[in-house]
Amino acid sequence: MNNSFFKHFRYGENINPVRDWLIMLTFSVIVLAGIIVWNIWAFDTVAKGGVIGTTATSTPAVFSQSSLNTINAIFANRAAEKAKYETGTYRFADPSQ
């Protein structure tokens, strides 16, 4: 009986599609089971408030003041340019007319 079971898994001169399908399906079922177990574990860990991976030892700063000042300066320059178009300092000539 033991010999007949392993007979399906031996390579021979002939192609054995039963053996190949059994190997492929077995591997697929093992991989699918692993994926399902991983997802259940990950969901359970996160649902209980846990963290997957390493936890951060220190919290980085939310923003830096110099970056915020740079952004404010960019928007101030854009507002000044917009005002120049609106007050007539810059003239726009439409080339299509």
How far apart are the C-alpha atoms of 17 and 14, rounded to whole Å?
10
If one counts the domains in the chain, the total is 1
Per-residue pLDDT of the chain (97 residues; tens, 9 = 90+): 566 666 666 666 677 788 889 999 999 999 999 999 999 999 999 999 888 888 777 777 777 888 889 999 999 999 999 999 888 888 777 788 7
**Residue 28 included in any domain:** yes
Question: Quick one: pLDDT at residue 12?
Answer: 64
Domain range for 78 is 2-49+66-87
Q: Does residue 38 form part of some domain?
A: yes
Is residue 40 in a domain? yes
Residue 55 lies in a domain: no
Residues 6+ apart with CB under 8 A from 14: none
Residue 92 within a domain: no
Q: Is residue 70 part of a domain?
A: yes
